[in-house]
């Protein structure tokens, strides 16, 4: 079970080896991975839309889509058909080339990131030795696509959304990368596989104080990166209609959604890989563990969306620069302390408590320093 997909691939390669010369086998091996990823991305996106609608509906005392197929399971297909046959409207004064290119440029990097995700034991499409770097670099390309869409639409709301998006992406990239540094310090490798393997035997980084904090920061920044609530300012429907994709319809619009959902998945998958032990886990097959953890994180994203209002643009910046960034810097120091005190063991009381104390103290200190953003206590007199 565990190596099911790996074996299928090996069988396919073996089959081609029997019939064709060696170099075809290499090509087949590459092609199988590419096809698998290229199919997996859209498939995940399609059913994420259904999951999102179902989960959010349940949180709002509704049933959610249930008309197309049993439990609405065919709803994504119906949506897809609808999107495909819709008219593609391009505003008259839009920059036609940018308008066309933008959705493509957003989807491509979102799909590329799948390449370095370790879906299970021996199940990384491309085991890059700089996997994390690749992830950080590629996932920020999407911003260009968003700004192209915003500018190309020739719409004031789009431009506002695009500018918000660019500012947000640049700000959140920094604490995001900074929160990965502790993992790199602990593992000593940028390869995603090496990181997962370092977390064997329940040594998930999330169980350490720095790992927990890093996980939270990374996940929050990731949510901001893929423009999801409560950081969905770039497409805040109550303020700027739909932000950068106001002027998109039909399949182009669907591509924006695809990119958003695929990056939601990759962010969750990467958080799983970095902090939640990746595919490590007892009993169940490794890939199942990976998907379980990833969908758990996606559930949290949907939960955010169903609960939280969105931040204002200045508060968003403040959260990144005045709160998450200092905290992630302290986190690096905490990791170093943990490393020296733990002395190669995963858990020792001193190595647990000292970084924890440091982090709690700095959290408290940052709260004090960010007093203007703290809620005020109000008293409401009741008079006659």
Partner 1 sequence: MFEKMRVKTKVIDSGKSGLDTQTLEVNVGPQHPSTHGVFRMTIVLDGEVVKSLRPVMGYLHRNHEQIAENITYSASMPYTDRLDYFNSMSNNQAWAMTVEQLAEVEIPDRAEYIRVIMSELTRLVNHVSVIGFLLNDMGAFFTPTLFAFREREKVLDVFEAVSGSRMMCNYLRFGGVNRDLTDDQLGQIKKIVADFPAFLDEFETLLAQNEIVCMRCQNVGVLPAELAINASITGPMLRASGVNYDIRKVDQYSVYDRFEFKIPLGEKGDVYDRYYVRMLEMRESLKILNQALEQIEPGPFMAPKVPACLKNPRNFKPPVGEAYGRVEAPKGELGFYVVSDGSKEPWRYHVRAPSFINLTVLEAMCIGYKLADAIVILGSIDIVLGEVDR
Partner 2 sequence: MFFGLGILRGMNITLMNFIRSYTRKRGSGEIGALTTVQYPEERLPEKEKFRNFPFLIYDDKPEDLRCVACDICAQDCPPRCIYIVKETDEAGKPMKKPAVFDIDFTVCMNCGICEEVCPFDAIFMDHEFEIADSDRHDKLLYHRDDLLKTNEHFHKIRPNDGREVDTRLAEAKEAKAKKDEARKKAAEAKAAAKAKAEAEKATEAKEDKPPETEKESDPQ
**82 in contact with partner 2 (CB under 8 A):** no
By CB under 8 A, which span of 255-263, 311-319, 321-329, 358-366 interacts with partner 1?
Answer: 311-319
Structural contact between residues 131 and 112, judged by C-beta atoms closer than 8 angstroms: no
Task: Please tell me whether residue 124 adopts helix, strand or coil conformation.
Answer: strand
331-370 residues in contact with partner 2 (CB under 8 A) are: 367, 370
Q: Which two tokens stand for residue 166?
A: 């660019």
Spatial contact of 108 and 34, defined as CB atoms under 8 Å apart: no
Q: Which stretch binds partner 2 (CB under 8 A): 12-20, 178-186, 247-255, 301-309?
A: 301-309
- Alpha-helical runs (H) found in 276-370: 286-307, 313-318, 325-342, 349-369
Task: Compute the least distance from the CB of residue 294 to partner 2, in Å.
Answer: 19
Beta bridge partners of 118: 124
Residue 61 near partner 2 by CB under 8 A: yes
Does residue 230 interact with partner 1 by CB under 8 A?
yes
Least gap, CB of 92 to partner 1 (angstroms): 8
Task: Report the candidate in 35, 33, 48, 34 with the shortest Cα–Cα distance to residue 266.
Answer: 48
* In the complex, minimum distance from the CB of residue 210 to partner 1, in angstroms, rounded to a whole number: 24
Decide whether 197 or 239 has the Cβ nearer to partner 1.
239
SS3 121: coil
Between the two ends of the chain, the Cα-to-Cα distance in Å is: 72
Q: In terms of CB distance, is 64 or 285 closer to partner 2? A: 64
**Phi–psi pair at 308, nearest 5 degrees:** -95, 140
Q: Does 313 bind partner 2 (CB under 8 A)?
A: no
| 99 lies in the binding site for partner 1 (CB under 8 A) | no
379 lies in the site for partner 1, by CB under 8 A: yes
> Could you tell me which of 93, 73, 2 has the C-alpha nearest to residue 280?
2
Q: If you ran DSSP here, which 8-state letter would residue 118 be given?
A: B
Residue with tokens 């403040």: 318
Instruction: Tell me how far apart the alpha carbons of residues 225 and 271 are, in angstroms, rounded to a whole number.
Output: 13
Nearest partner of 119 among 5, 250, 199, 210, judged by Cα: 5
Of 53-61, 94-102, 212-220, 350-358: span binding partner 1 (CB under 8 A): 53-61
- Work out how close the CB of 261 gets to partner 1 at its nearest, in angstroms, rounded to a whole number: 15
Phi, psi of 89 (to 5 degrees): -100, 130
* Segment 313 to 342, residues that bind partner 1, using CB under 8 A: 313-315
Closer Cβ to partner 1, 56 or 133, answer by number: 56
Stretch that binds partner 2, among 57-65, 88-96, 124-132, 345-353 (CB under 8 A): 57-65
Crossing angle for the helix pair 22-59 and 75-85, nearest 10 degrees? 100
Select the binding partner of residue 58 from partner 2, partner 1, none (C-beta < 5 to 8 A, by kind): partner 2
Which residues between 158 and 177 bind partner 1 (CB under 8 A)? 159-160, 164
CA 191/CA 262 separation, integer angstroms: 21
CA distance 139 to 266: 9
Interface stretch with partner 2, choices 45-53, 55-63, 232-240, 283-291 (CB under 8 A): 55-63
From 21, 282, 309, 349, residue interacting with partner 1 (rule: CB under 8 A): 309
- The residues binding partner 1 (CB under 8 A) are 56, 59-62, 92-93, 156-157, 159-160, 164, 229-230, 232-233, 236-241, 305-315, 373-376, 378-384
- The residues binding partner 2 (CB under 8 A) are 55, 58-63, 303-304, 306-308, 367, 370, 374-375
């Amino acid at each position: 079970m565990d190596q099911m997909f790996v074996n299928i691939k090996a069988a396919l390669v073996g089959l081609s080896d029997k019939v064709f010369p060696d170099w075809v086998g290499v090509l087949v091996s590459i092609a199988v991975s590419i096809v698998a990823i290229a199919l997996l991305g859209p498939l995940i996106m399609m059913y994420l839309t259904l999951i999102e609608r179902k989960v959010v509906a349940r949180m709002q005392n509704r049933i959610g889509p249930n008309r197309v197929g049993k439990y609405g399971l065919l709803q994504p297909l119906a949506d897809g058909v609808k999107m495909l046959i819709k008219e593609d409207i391009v505003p008259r004064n839009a920059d036609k080339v940018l308008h066309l290119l933008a959705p493509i440029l957003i989807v491509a990097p979102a799909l590329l990131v799948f390449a370095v995700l370790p879906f299970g034991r021996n199940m990384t499409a491309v085991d890059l030795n700089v996997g994390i770097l690749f992830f950080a670099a590629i996932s920020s390309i999407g911003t260009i696509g968003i700004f192209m869409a915003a500018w190309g639409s020739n719409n004031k709301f789009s431009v506002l959304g695009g500018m918000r998006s660019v500012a947000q992406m640049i700000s959140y990239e920094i604490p995001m990368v900074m929160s990965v540094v502790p993992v790199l310090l602990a593992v000593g490798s940028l390869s995603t596989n090496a990181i997962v393997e370092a977390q064997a035997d329940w040594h998930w980084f999330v169980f350490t104080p720095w790992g927990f904090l890093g996980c939270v920061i990374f996940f929050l920044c990731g949510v901001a990166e893929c423009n999801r609530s409560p950081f969905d300012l770039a497409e805040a429907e109550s303020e700027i209609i739909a932000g950068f994709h106001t002027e998109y319809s039909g399949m182009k619009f669907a591509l924006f959604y695809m990119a958003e959902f695929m990056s939601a998945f990759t962010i969750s998958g990467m958080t799983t890989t970095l902090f939640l032990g990746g595919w490590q886990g007892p009993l169940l097959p490794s890939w199942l563990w990976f998907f379980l953890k990833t969908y758990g994180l996606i559930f949290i994203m949907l939960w955010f969306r169903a609960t939280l209002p969105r931040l204002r643009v200045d508060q968003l910046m403040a959260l990144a620069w005045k709160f998450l960034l200092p905290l992630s810097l302290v986190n690096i120091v905490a990791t170093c302390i943990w490393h020296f005190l733990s002395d190669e063991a995963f858990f020792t009381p001193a190595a647990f408590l000292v970084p924890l104390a440091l982090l709690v103290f700095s959290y408290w200190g940052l709260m004090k320093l960010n007093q203007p953003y703290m809620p005020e206590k109000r008293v409401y007199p009741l008079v006659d």
